[in-house]
A and B are shown apart, each in its own frame.
Chain A
Amino acid sequence: MGRYIFNRSWQGLIAIIGALAIVFIAQRLSGDPVALLLPMDATEADFVAMRAKLGLDQPMVVQFWRFLQSAVVGDFGHSYMWNEPAMDLILDRLPATLELAFAGLVFAAALAVPLGVLSAVYQDSWIDRVAKVFAMLGQAVPNFWIGLLLILFFAVYLQWFPAFGRGTIMHLVLPAIALGWYPVAAMTRTLRSAMLEIMQSDYIRMARAVGLGQRSIIWKYALRNAAVPLVTMLGVYFAGMLGGAFVVEVVFAWPGVGRAVVEAVFARDFPVVQAGVVLSAVVFVVVNLLVDLSYGVIDPRIRHGR
């Protein structure tokens, strides 16, 4: 197990450096941050001074080497726009994004598990069809649109929840639904097909033969094994939500990482984009590692190498 973690960590590190190199080059091909920072009537001297101040007057290879040297000690430079350490800017917003992603995931799982199980158990019944439509709705409708509808209905008309911002648990409800509805369809479908397969397996027939109750068979024996692919999806979606919650963050004025990074992309704020990408890459690698390790917990056959 130790060797496995070691190997995966190395692979993860290479993935992070690869992501950084791509982002580093792609950003510099996309436009000049100095033109964005200076007023439109700036003189050539202003341009030269600003380039020197930001270190953009150096060859790209030198810039990348300096960046890597600083990055390994956690220094991603100062934001061009906000004039504060880029990683601090990202880390300040990380709790808000973690909170939103976690709530979105809980919402998704809370819907997908019962829907997936019931669809499998009552295959082709009206329950199956309703579950399918409900789950597909989240995937078919863009989450910004869901967010706006939720605001209009639950915040403006019913006034049950705040329309924007972060603060109490009530602020979390609408953005979590807007964010978490999308993966429900995929998770439901995955769980449904896994359950259908498992319900036909020998050990379930055995369980029935020895007289175990239907509820116990479904929730205790079948679901546990059917949950393996679901856990993988949860991990991937969680990591995706951390970096991809931008739209929901904008709609609900949620002060998260996704919004900060996307705004930084448009502002050519290289240090913030780089810090954000590193963080996302680290989260992806770590979450995937945790997901792999969790298989052993869920399915002892994997833990024992069988």
Chain B
Amino acid sequence: MRHLIALVASFACFSALGQEADDTVTIAFAAEATQVDPTRTMAGVDAYFMDLFFERLLSLDSDLQRINWLAESWTVVETSDGGENGVDVATAIDVTLRQGVKFHNGVELTADDIRFAYTRQSDPASGISSQVRYVSSVEVHDDYHLTMHLSQPDGSLITQNLELWAIPKSHYDEVGEAGVQAHPIGTGPWKFVSRKPRNELVVERFDDYWNQDALPGFKRLVIKIIPEDTTRVAAYKTGAVDWIDAVPPAQVEAFREIPNTHVTTLPAPNNLFLSLNEVDASSPFRDYRVRQAVAYGVDYDAIIKYILFGQGIRTAQIAPGGLGYDPDLKPYPYDPDKARALLKEAGYPAGLAVPCYNLTTPREPYIKEVGETIYAYLAEVGIRCRIVQLEYGAWITVGRHKTRPRMDGVNSTMWGQGLPGDPTTAWGGHLHTNGDGWGTYSYASDPELDAMIEQLRRLMDDDVRAVLIKKIARIKHARMTGGVPTYRPMLTFAWRDTIDFKPQPGAFWRSMRDIAPCPSRRCSSE
């Protein structure tokens, strides 16, 4: 009887899982996009699905080098500022579009579609108008030529691949907002087939894709949404899925032992730091020596090794590979005696007590445990924490400097710098004192750095920007202002060797652009 039950169960189980055709691959994401319109408010997870359907004018290759994508070429137009010194400033970006790019509905991409994307995104109701705040208009010259006019130079536009997405105006006109959400259409390598929110997304290869060299090898891709780590791992181990993201740090080493499995660990776009209240008159962190004590007082290397299982990169200010990374700028070493001495020097020989806000979101692995450990280290050197645990919604409210309750101590904070990494927007938000969308989460105030950050945003040349970033980083580091950097997390992906997959930076390494069944050209060459 027992064997009969087992037999029936096994049969039903395998029937349920289904025997997949070779041209279909089933994968699992830990989270999913909340919406699929790139011109509307975008949570970080929205990029996971956006990258399947939509593309921008520029892109990054697998080595994180910027390449032309839907733009065949582009140039920054500089005009004399009219002053005595005749300094040239960027006033526009001319873009020539690639010809023959088709949307999934067969309509060809033209400059009008890009202007339409700008119109939608620049509307404050989009929620993301801040990202094009210095683009005053988009002028269309003909089907393949357009100019983005700038109200002031904005280097972030280049970091963000010229920001604008290719969306089909005709489709939006035809089906409206709800229709777009129900059936997104873009120029990307995958076409929408069906979606069951919180369950799965099914997409199909777009065979008319303009870049035939980047056409995925599978005909169909099924993305399962499995938020629970153990379940996602079980889904991989049982063969229900063949690729998973966000392998839990504690299980990365065990995954490396699984036969016929590739495991890759890559830097995440996020940057973590401790925000300190440096502005309130009553705050001890107004004194740079107390801030330095925080930096000296915690053994971040041990935290990365023992709590994150090595899945983190120690940062001084900028992570390796990021724009303006300075290998000579070293993190503060763990030196509890020095931390105590600095506190004493600052007038706190008996230490001090502050509220310490701890973020507990599942968005970042083990961030709660890391925060608790940091606060325990701080107690050892005399900074006694009254820990306040905050879920993401409460944390983001506390972190905004204009809201109440006020962040009146230490806050474990994160602010993504993207891939390969550019601190301009993040520093504008947590280092700059205040401004138009700047300093929103800042508890720092340094007029010298404010001016430098504003200058940084106006620079359009990456080489020049890198020099200024290094300069800002050194000052920030010495004064330990705008937050104490802790680490940049790592992301681990695993997939079966029946799949030829090469991680691409789109969707934070979840881009499904380069995926094919093995044996493929690349598998056979290995």
Q: Which among B12, B394, B415, B438 is the interface contact of A31 at CB below 8 angstroms?
A: B394
Expressed in whole angstroms, the Cα–Cα distance for A44 and B434 within the complex equals 11
Report chain B residues within 8 Å CB of A266.
391-393
**Interface residues as binary, B1-43 with A (CB distance below 8 Å gives 1, 0 otherwise):** 0000010011011011100000000000000001100001111
* Interface pair B393/A31, CB less than 8 Å apart: yes
Where the two chains meet, the residues of B that have a C-beta atom closer than 8 Å to any C-beta of A are 6, 9-10, 12-13, 15-17, 34-35, 40-43, 123-125, 127-131, 133, 177-178, 181, 196-200, 224-228, 230-232, 234-235, 237-238, 240, 391-394, 396-397, 400, 403, 415, 425, 428-429, 436-438, 440-441
Expressed in whole angstroms, the Cα–Cα distance for A191 and B364 within the complex equals 46
Expressed in whole angstroms, the Cα–Cα distance for A36 and B394 within the complex equals 10
Known contacts A83-B181, A253-B231, A268-B393, A50 near B240 by CB under 8 Å: no
A189 within 8 A of B: no
* Interface pair B429/A170, CB less than 8 Å apart: no
Closest 3 CB pairs of A and B: A49-B124, A43-B437, A163-B234
* Interface pair B437/A46, CB less than 8 Å apart: yes
Q: Which among A44, A152, A161, A252 is the interface contact of B9 at CB below 8 angstroms?
A: A161
* Interface pair A163/B125, CB less than 8 Å apart: no
* Interface pair A36/B227, CB less than 8 Å apart: no
* Interface pair A39/B13, CB less than 8 Å apart: no
Expressed in whole angstroms, the Cα–Cα distance for A2 and B245 within the complex equals 57
Expressed in whole angstroms, the Cα–Cα distance for A62 and B203 within the complex equals 43
A–B Cβ pairs within 8 angstroms, 23 of them: A31-B393, A31-B397, A36-B396, A39-B41, A41-B130, A42-B437, A43-B437, A46-B129, A48-B124, A49-B123, A49-B124, A49-B125, A50-B125, A151-B230, A152-B230, A156-B238, A159-B10, A162-B16, A162-B238, A163-B238, A164-B232, A168-B16, A253-B199
**Interface residues as binary, A261-276 with B (CB distance below 8 Å gives 1, 0 otherwise):** 0000011100000000
* Interface pair B224/A165, CB less than 8 Å apart: yes
> Taking CB as reference atom, which chain B residue is nearest A84?
B181
Q: How far is the CB of B490 from chain A (nearest CB, A)?
A: 22
Q: How far is the CB of B390 from chain A (nearest CB, A)?
A: 10
* Interface pair A159/B13, CB less than 8 Å apart: yes
* Interface pair A170/B199, CB less than 8 Å apart: no
Known contacts A39-B130, A156-B234, A45 near B396 by CB under 8 Å: no
Q: How far is the CB of A170 from chain B (nearest CB, A)?
A: 4
Report chain A residues within 8 Å CB of B35.
81-83
**Interface residues as binary, A73-100 with B (CB distance below 8 Å gives 1, 0 otherwise):** 0000000011110000100110000000
A132 within 8 A of B: no
* Interface pair B396/A31, CB less than 8 Å apart: yes
Report chain A residues within 8 Å CB of B232.
164
Q: Please give 20 more A-B residue pairs, beta carbons under 8 A apart, in addition to A83-B35, A260-B198.
A: A30-B394, A31-B396, A35-B400, A40-B429, A40-B441, A41-B428, A43-B130, A43-B436, A43-B437, A46-B130, A81-B34, A151-B234, A156-B234, A160-B9, A161-B13, A162-B13, A166-B199, A170-B16, A253-B231, A255-B198
Expressed in whole angstroms, the Cα–Cα distance for A267 and B396 within the complex equals 11
Q: Which among A148, A170, A171, A253 is the interface contact of B225 at CB below 8 angstroms?
A: A253
* Interface pair A46/B124, CB less than 8 Å apart: yes
Report chain B residues within 8 Å CB of A302.
none
Where the two chains meet, the residues of A that have a C-beta atom closer than 8 Å to any C-beta of B are 30-33, 35-46, 48-50, 53, 81-84, 89, 92-93, 148, 151-152, 155-156, 158-171, 250-253, 255, 259-260, 266-268
Report chain A residues within 8 Å CB of B235.
163-164
Report chain A residues within 8 Å CB of B178.
84
Expressed in whole angstroms, the Cα–Cα distance for A35 and B425 within the complex equals 17
Report chain A residues within 8 Å CB of B13.
159-162, 170
* Interface pair B394/A83, CB less than 8 Å apart: no
Report chain A residues within 8 Å CB of B10.
159-160
Known contacts A40-B441, A160-B13, A161-B9, A250 near B227 by CB under 8 Å: yes
* Interface pair A148/B125, CB less than 8 Å apart: no
Q: How far is the CB of A221 from chain B (nearest CB, A)?
A: 32
> Taking CB as reference atom, which chain A residue is nearest B428?
A41
Q: Which among B177, B238, B428, B438 is the interface contact of A83 at CB below 8 angstroms?
A: B177
> Taking CB as reference atom, which chain A residue is nearest B197?
A82
> Taking CB as reference atom, which chain B residue is nearest A85?
B178
Most chain B CB atoms below 10 A, which of A31, A32, A45, A84: A31
> Taking CB as reference atom, which chain B residue is nearest A48?
B124
* Interface pair A32/B437, CB less than 8 Å apart: no
Report chain B residues within 8 Å CB of A44.
436-437
* Interface pair B124/A37, CB less than 8 Å apart: no
* Interface pair B125/A53, CB less than 8 Å apart: yes
Q: How far is the CB of B254 from chain A (nearest CB, A)?
A: 12
Report chain B residues within 8 Å CB of A39.
41-42, 127-128, 130-131
Expressed in whole angstroms, the Cα–Cα distance for A49 and B400 within the complex equals 18
Known contacts A31-B396, A83-B177, A170-B13, A164 near B226 by CB under 8 Å: yes
* Interface pair B41/A38, CB less than 8 Å apart: yes
Q: How far is the CB of A62 from chain B (nearest CB, A)?
A: 20
Report chain A residues within 8 Å CB of B125.
49-50, 53
Expressed in whole angstroms, the Cα–Cα distance for A199 and B302 within the complex equals 65
Q: Which among B40, B198, B227, B393 is the interface contact of A267 at CB below 8 angstroms?
A: B393
* Interface pair A41/B238, CB less than 8 Å apart: no
Report chain A residues within 8 Å CB of B391.
266
Report chain A residues within 8 Å CB of B130.
39, 41-43, 46
Most chain B CB atoms below 10 A, which of A82, A155, A164, A266: A164
Expressed in whole angstroms, the Cα–Cα distance for A268 and B396 within the complex equals 12
Report chain B residues within 8 Å CB of A250.
227-228
Known contacts A35-B397, A41-B429, A170 near B129 by CB under 8 Å: no
Report chain B residues within 8 Å CB of A82.
34-35, 197
> Taking CB as reference atom, which chain A residue is nearest B402?
A44
Known contacts A168-B16, A169-B12, A260-B198, A45 near B129 by CB under 8 Å: yes
Q: Which among B124, B226, B440 is the interface contact of A45 at CB below 8 angstroms?
A: B124
Expressed in whole angstroms, the Cα–Cα distance for A31 and B404 within the complex equals 10
Expressed in whole angstroms, the Cα–Cα distance for A156 and B225 within the complex equals 18
Q: How far is the CB of B171 from chain A (nearest CB, A)?
A: 17
Report chain A residues within 8 Å CB of B123.
49
Known contacts A160-B9, A160-B10, A162-B238, A41 near B440 by CB under 8 Å: yes
Expressed in whole angstroms, the Cα–Cα distance for A92 and B197 within the complex equals 10
Q: How far is the CB of A306 from chain B (nearest CB, A)?
A: 47
> Taking CB as reference atom, which chain B residue is nearest A52?
B125
> Taking CB as reference atom, which chain A residue is nearest B133?
A43
Report chain A residues within 8 Å CB of B17.
162
Expressed in whole angstroms, the Cα–Cα distance for A46 and B415 within the complex equals 19
Expressed in whole angstroms, the Cα–Cα distance for A155 and B228 within the complex equals 15
Q: How far is the CB of B148 from chain A (nearest CB, A)?
A: 19
Most chain A CB atoms below 10 A, which of B16, B35, B177, B181: B16
> Taking CB as reference atom, which chain A residue is nearest B34?
A81
Report chain A residues within 8 Å CB of B397.
31-32, 35
Report chain B residues within 8 Å CB of A156.
234, 237-238
